[in-house]
Structures are given as C-alpha cells and as structure tokens.
Amino acid sequence: MTEPKKLYIKTYGCQMNVYDSERMAEAMGGAGYVETGSPDDADMILLNTCHIREKAAEKVYSELGRFREFKEAKPDLKIGVAGCVAQAEGQEIMRRQPLVDLVVGPQSYHRLPQMEQQVREGKKALDTDFPLDDKFDTLRTRAKAKRGPTAFLTVQEGCDKFCAFCVVPYTRGAEVSRPATRILEEARELVDRGVREITLLGQNVNAYHGAGPEGDMTLAQLIWELDKIDGLSRIRFTTSHPNDMADDLIEAHGTCAKLMPYLHLPVQSGSDRILKRMNRSHTAESYLRLIERIRAVRPDIVMSGDFIVGFPEETEADFQATMDLIEEVKYGYAYSFKYSTRPGTPAAERPQVDEDAKSDRLQRLQALITRQQREVQDAMVGRKVSVLFEKPGRLDGQMVGKSEYLHAVHVVDSSLKAGDLVAVEVVESASNSLAGRILPD
C-alpha cells in the first residue's frame, strides 16, 4: 500500500485564511496528501498568506528562506505560496524565489491538485485568476471526520468598499455571496461532524446577498435559516461594515437566541475628516447612533472594533476624536494598528505621519482599549454565562471554552469534555481569561 504524502500548511492572517487552509487540505486530500504539523517531514509546504499587515511580502520571503534547507535535503519537496500575497505578487514571487514551485491566489485554490500534477511533471504552476468556476462548488464535499465544537464557514468574499488603505478589493475581488442552499448544506455537514458553533465569515459579511429559494437572502435571513438546524447551538459572524448593518440584522441580535451577543464592527477612526479620507462612507456620529440601536435590542452585547492610527494627514485633534469615540462606546475587544502603506492603494501616495507620532498614539490608544477590555471582563465576575468547552487547559481536569461574549473561561471539572455547553458562574477575572465553576442543573 502506498504511503500517503504529507502536507504542511502555515496560515497567516484572518479567520477566512484559516477556513481556506482547511479547504486546501481537503482538496489535496483528494490527491493523496494528509496533513502534518511540521515542515520537517512534509512532501508539500504551503504558505497561505495575508497582505493586510506591514511588510507582509517580506515576511513571506523570509519564511521561504527557512525552507531552503528542506528543499536541498529533499529535492522532490514541493513548495507553494497561496493567499493574498500570492494574488498580489505571483510573478514576482516566482522570479525572486526560484525554490517556489507553485503560486495560487485565494480564488483558485480548488485547482491545487491539477497544479500539483503540473509540478510533478517538472513545470512551474501559477494561477492568480478570478475564475468563473466556483471553488466552493468544486470543493462541495467536505471530509466526514469528527472535528472540534467550533468552525468557520465562509459565506461571502471580496469587497466593493475600496477603503483608501486596503488591498482586499484587489486581492479578493468584488463582493460575491455564496448561495444559501450551499451554506446550509455545509453547516449541516459540520454539525453532523460535531460542530456546535459556526462563525460566518466574509470580508464584508453583512453585505451578504446570496441566492435563496425565493430570491436573494440577507445575512439576517440566512441566520434565521441556520437557527433551524438541530444541534447547532451558536451562530456568530465577522467582519462587518457599519454601512451594511441592516434593520433585520439589528433585530436578529435581539430576537435570535442562537446569535451570540458579540459584534465586531470596525470604525477605524473617530474623526470625520479622516473617515472621509479613508473612503469609509460613514461618520463618527452615524456609527455611534448605530451602536445605540444595537444596544437597544441587545443591552448586554459586547462590542469589538478596529482602529488605524497615524493614517496619512491625521492630526492630534483627529486622534483625540478617535479616543473620544472609544470612551463613548466602551469596547470589550478591539484591534489597533499603526497605518502602513500598501502599494497601489490611494493612501500610499499621501503625506505620511511621523513614525514616532504613530507609535505614541498607538500606545495611548491601546492603553485605553486595554482598560476598557479589563473593565468589561471584570464586570463578568458573579454573572452566569454559557460556556462551550473546546479543549483541556494546563491543569489536571481543567477545560477551556468560550462564553457567549467570546471571553475565554476555564473550569476545573474532570467530567467536562470538548463540545459540552454548560452554565457557569464566573468567580475570577484574570488578565486574559475568566475562571468559573459549573452551576448545578
């Protein structure tokens, strides 16, 4: 019997890349590969890349340099680059790093088996098209192996917003929504494999408008269809745009019991002047009023956001407006970054803010966010939360899971197992997690 070939995938960036890596592994499974956790014994190495962060391409080249010794030791080793850096710089990667055998963009990874065959025939393989054939349809059948209690499920890709700082419209393409029937079919398969919580993914997920039996469905309508699936206990979605937070989606947060009270809603800046320069198409005031409407239907919802500091031409007054907005919202989570240029985006050509000023502003903003996060977390002590346990903790008999608010919660109870959804009283708040005790039935 032929021994299966081994595939090592290293994933960078967002949850959508995590999902894509799972599907790449499934595609290559059909070509005789099984996943391995180490590049040392791999027959194929894939880097699934992200182009959002600073110096993303240079980090990829650095990682590829580390694999040179593996290639020298095993000449038949195949090395591939996938994802958004691959989409943006495919030809350059091939030219600059000859050890790379194949480069595939995020819309073409369903063609990996054919590309691998091409490489085995001694050719290089490059595919950064936006193909007409649907990768999700091609990879429709997922492996039936048992899996953990949580899963990502991509429902929408691409973005039409063209924010001045962002490469996503160029690397992922225009907004495309998957048909609702396919999503529901995949969700049922995941539940059959042991999944109890599904996070719906999209670059602009609340712009979802996938085909349904009676016309296009909104994200809220899709959530209500998922709500009908027996065995599915929790639904989340990310990442959203404020301009697409429709009335029915706001209402769902107040009426759909399976939709968790956590919402990631990036604002990026609290300055209307900077928001306009970012091409965000909303104002600080409209964002704040939107938060009010969401909290009116779900008062306990935990808000999360994204912030860019030091965007071109940002003044101290602009930055202070962002700090004022954060003070008003009171975030439970947030992600913040110094602006870094992305070649080809409008903001890259504008006057840049001094790096020292960027660093100072980021430090001040993160200090405020950290304080708010801790206040929200500390307020959980004494409360009853619902925890979906996912894996063992560091201590004997300890299990770790997530509350409905996405807080990590650990409990010492040897009777718990992955997939248990249990009522827990929070007894202590640590720096990045909560400790709890199981409540009696």
Percent of the chain with pLDDT over 70: 95
Domain assignment present for 55: yes
Q: What is the average pLDDT score of the chain?
A: 92
Is the preceding omega at residue 239 within 30 degrees of 0, hence cis?
Answer: yes
Domain span holding position 417: 384-438
Q: 254 in a domain, yes or no?
A: yes
181 and 239 belong to one structural domain: yes
State the pLDDT at residue 408. 97
* pLDDT reported for residue 127: 87
Least confident window among 40-49, 278-287, 295-304 = 40-49
Measured between alpha carbons, how far is 103 from 82 in angstroms, rounded to an integer?
Answer: 6
User: Where does a domain end: 260, 285, 320?
Assistant: 260
Phi, psi angles (nearest 5°) of residue 202:
-170, 150
Of 7, 170, 164, nearest in space to 84 by CA = 170
Return the CATH number at 194. Answer: 3.30.750.210
Distance, CA of 213 to CA of 115 (rounded, Å): 36
Assess whether pLDDT exceeds 60 at residue 341. yes
| Angle 15-20-26 from CA coordinates, rounded to 5° | 135
Within 8 A by CB and 6+ apart from 289, the residues are none
Total domains present in the chain: 3
DSSP string for residues in 232-294:
--EEEEE---GGG--HHHHHHHHH-TTB-SEEE---B-S-HHHHHHHT----HHHHHHHHHHH
Distance CA(256)–CA(200), nearest Å, equals 15
Note whether 103 and 16 are same-domain residues. Answer: yes
Q: How far is CA 357 from the centre of its chain?
A: 29
Q: Six-digit token pair at 90?
A: 């495919």
Binding residues: 14, 50, 84, 159, 163, 166
Q: Looking at the structure, do residues 216 and 254 belong to the same domain, yes or no? A: yes
Q: Read off φ and ψ for residue 392, nearest 5 degrees.
A: -65, 150
Residues 154 and 234 grouped into a single domain:
yes
pLDDT at 364 over 60: yes
Residues 52, 151, single domain; the answer is no
The answer, yes or no, to whether residue 218 has pLDDT greater than 60, is: yes
Nearest in space to 4 (alpha carbons), one of 30, 27, 24, 23:
30
* Annotated binding-site positions for [4Fe-4S] cluster: 14, 50, 84, 159, 163, 166
Q: Which token pair is 245? A: 């937070």
368 part of a folded domain: no
Same domain, 120 and 18: yes
Q: Are 70 and 99 in contact (CB under 8 A)?
A: no
Local confidence band at 23 (pLDDT 50, 70, 90 cut-offs): confident
Instruction: Clarify whether residues 241 and 148 are in a common domain.
Output: yes
Q: Are residues 110 and 193 in the same domain?
A: no
* CATH number of domain containing 36: 3.40.50.12160
Residue 183's closest CA among 132, 133, 244, 226? 226
Single out the residue in 236, 260, 284 at which a domain terminates: 260
Specify whether 121 is located in the same domain as 155.
no
Could you tell me if 65 and 152 lie in one domain? no
Closest among 233, 143, 220 to 189, alpha carbons compared = 143
Half-sphere exposure of 27 (CA within 13 A, CB side): 23
pLDDT of res. 143: 54
Mean pLDDT over 80-109 rounds to 88
Q: List CB contacts of 149: < 8 A, sequence separation 6 or more.
A: 194, 195, 196, 197, 388, 389, 390, 418, 419
Tokens of 402: 């997530």
CA 89 distance to own-chain centroid = 22
Distances from the Cα of 202 to the Cα of 11, 181, 217, 284, angstroms: 17, 17, 15, 23
Note the pLDDT tens digit of each residue in 400-431: 999 999 999 999 999 999 999 999 999 999 98
Report whether pLDDT(14) > 60. Answer: yes
In a domain, residue 83? The reply is yes
Alpha helices in 124-262 (DSSP H): 135-138, 168-171, 180-192, 219-226, 247-255
Picking from 300, 374, 297, 364, the residue whose alpha carbon sits closest to that of residue 333 is 374
Same domain, 198 and 235: yes
Of how many residues is the chain composed? 441
Tell whether 108 and 164 lie within a shared domain.
Answer: no
Is the residue at 155 inside a domain? yes
216 occurs within a structural domain = yes
The fraction of the chain above a pLDDT of 90, given in percent, is: 71
Round to whole Å and give the CA distance between 260 and 120.
47
Q: What is the pLDDT of residues 58-94, one digit of tens each?
A: 888 888 988 988 998 999 999 999 988 888 888 889 9
Mean pLDDT throughout 265-278? 98
Query: What mean pLDDT comes out for the span 8-19?
Result: 87
Q: Is 119 a member of any domain?
A: yes
Which of 108-117, 255-264, 265-274 is predicted with the least confidence, judged by mean pLDDT?
108-117
pLDDT at 106 over 80: yes
CATH code: domain of residue 424: 2.40.50.140
130/171 Cα distance (integer angstroms): 10
Q: Is residue 237 part of a domain?
A: yes
